[in-house]
Amino acid sequence: MNRNILLTDLKVKDFKETWNLQTQLLQEIVDIKVQNRRNNLTQETKNHFLFVEHPHVYTLGKSGDVSNLLLNKEQLKEKKATFYKINRGGDITYHGPGQIVGYPILDLENFFTDIHKYLRLLEETIILTIAEYGLKGERSEGETGVWLDVGTPFARKICALGIRSSRWVTMHGFALNVNTNLGYFDHIIPCGIRGKAVASMQAELGKKITKEEVKEKILKHFKALFEVNVFVK
C-alpha cells in the first residue's frame, strides 16, 4: 500500500486542461489496477495531489440542473467565463481567481475503501485549516462542503466539494474561497441550494489572505488526517 503522494502546483491553469490531466492520471492508476487483477501482479499505484487556480469557470456535476446557471452564452462571454458539464457529483459551482482548488487523485485502496470517510476527511482538512484563521467551519447535514454559521439564517458556504471515483480512484475535489470575487456566485444557484449564501476568507476576515500560506496549512492537515507523506513532483 503506497501512502506517498506526489504534489503538483499547477498555479493558474485552464479548467479543461486540468480536467484532462486529472483524467489521464486517474486512467494510469486504473490501468495498473486492472493489470494487477488480470495477471495476479502487485505493481504499486501512485497517488497525486494537484493544486490549481482556474480562470473564471462554472462547472455542472452529473446530477446537476443546468437551469441553476443563470447566464446565457453571450453573458458568459461578457463575464469572461466558461461553462462545462462534468463527471463529478454535485450540482453547479464556480471556480476563479483567488480560490484554492485541490484535486486529490488517490487510489483509496492504498488508504481505505470508504467514499463517505474520504469526503469527511476532506471537509475536516478545510475545517482545521480555516480554524487557524479564527473561522469556525462546520458541516451542514445533507449538504457536502464546509459552511459557516450552520443552523442560522446566515449560513454560508466557504468551501465546495465534489468528487468522482472509478475503481476506488478519486478525482475532482475541493474549492476553498480565499480571496475570491463572490459576485460571480450571483450568476448561479450554488450547488443547487436556494437561499444559501457563499463566503470567502477575505470577506470574513476583512483582509487579503496569502494563498501560499493557506496551501501549506491545507497540506499540513491533509498529511496528518490521511497519514501520508507528500513529495513535490
Q: Which residues are the active-site residues? A: 191
Closest CA to 106 of 232, 12, 226, 231: 226
Say how far apart CA 50 and CA 231 lie, in whole Å. Answer: 12
Say how far apart CA 160 and CA 92 lie, in whole Å. Answer: 10
Q: Assess contact for 83 and 15: CB atoms under 8 A.
A: no
Closest CA to 157 of 92, 105, 81, 216: 92
Cell numbers for 21, please give them.
Answer: 490531466
- Cα(first)–Cα(last) distance of the chain, in Å? 19
Alpha helices, DSSP H only, in the chain? Answer: 15-39, 73-78, 115-131, 201-205, 211-226
